[in-house]
Structure 1
Amino acid sequence: MSHRTAARFFDPTGARHGIPTWPWRMAPPHLVTRRQLAARGLRPGGQDIAGQVLWRSRRYNAPGGVRAAYLYDVRLALPKRTATDRQRAALAKALKARRICPDCGTDAGYVLPRHLGTCLDCAAGWEVAS
């Protein structure tokens, strides 16, 4: 990143961009993205965005090619909630239902394609060996 770009995105007070802004890899260590929070087993926990990181990207088709990542204060983050046993059981039941073919009634071993609505064997008209 050139010094010009870094200077353009460096605004720790938020006077120019409305919220505190840093260039790529220059944010304070206590400010992290949602993904970084998740990797640490944390969630934002209702806190407001504490800042942002801006960088230029040639692959991004927004005006000016500028991308943004919002930052949260890790000191205010809360632990991730864990699912209860009943929630896990309900999720397992729902996922299993997505694998059961309505035509032949077998567990296909994969999630059925929605555009077919059946397993691949039934969609192709093949007879499933019992």
Structure 2
Amino acid sequence: MSRPRHWDPEGARHGGTPTYPWRMAPAGYFTRRQLRAKGLRPGGQDVAAQIMWRSRFGGTRPAYLYRLDRAKPVRPMTPAKAAALAKANTARRTCPTCGRDAGYVLPAHLGTCLTCADHTALAA
């Protein structure tokens, strides 16, 4: 029986980083997103391993893994951080042309709300 393509637990082929195929990482290793779902963060630790898989667009894609036993709790949201985040999100929703809150994040390629973009297109 042959080994899967990305099986390299010693990291000999991938710069010293242990590498596993999709869904074959050992227990105790998690991605950033998986840690976040558990209320944890990597906490400054280096990448402990990676999983790799073949992308449908060609080539390979990695996902970096961190050790659960070295993870730290997520820092709590402070009132100042919450206010800054709310202000930034409001700025992303406010149209620079008409000054209204569009209720959605403005498309970057338009730079305005859809109503103002339609009026600009009709005027041209």
Distance 1:100 1:61, change over 3 A: same
Please tell me whether the aligned partners of residues 55 and 61 of structure 2 are also in contact (alpha carbons under 8 angstroms).
no
Tell me the residue number matched to 2:45: 47
From the CA coordinates, give the structure whose radius of gyration is larger. Answer: 1
> TM (normalized to structure 1)?
0.70
Q: Is the 8 A contact 1:60 1:67 kept in 2?
A: no
RMSD: 2.6
The reply on whether 1:99 has 2:97 as its aligned counterpart is no
After superposing the two structures, state which structure 1 stretch, 29-38 or 113-122, moved more.
113-122
Which runs of 5 or more residues in structure 2 are unaligned? none
Is 1:67 paired with 2:64?
A: no
How many pairs does the alignment contain?
119
Residues 10 and 121 of structure 1, relative CA distance in 2, 3 Å threshold: closer
Identity of aligned residues (%): 60
Listed as ranges, the matches of 1:51-130 within 5 Å are 51-55=49-53, 57=54, 59-62=56-59, 66-125=60-119
- The one-letter code of the counterpart of 2:90 is K
Where do 5+ consecutive residues of structure 1 fail to align?
Answer: none
Per the alignment, in what secondary structure is the counterpart of residue 4 of structure 1?
coil
Query: For residues 42 and 122 of structure 1, do their structure 2 counterparts lie closer, same or farther at Cα, with a shift above 3 Å needed?
Result: same
Tell me the CA shift for residue 104 of structure 1.
3.3
- Give the drift of 1:10: 3.0
Relative to 1, partners in 2 of residues 1:41 and 1:104: Cα closer, same or farther, differing over 3 Å? same
Which deviates more from structure 2 when the two are superposed, residues 97-106 or residues 46-55? Answer: 97-106
Shift of 1:88: 0.9
- Residue 58 of structure 1 and its aligned partner are, at CA, apart by 5.5
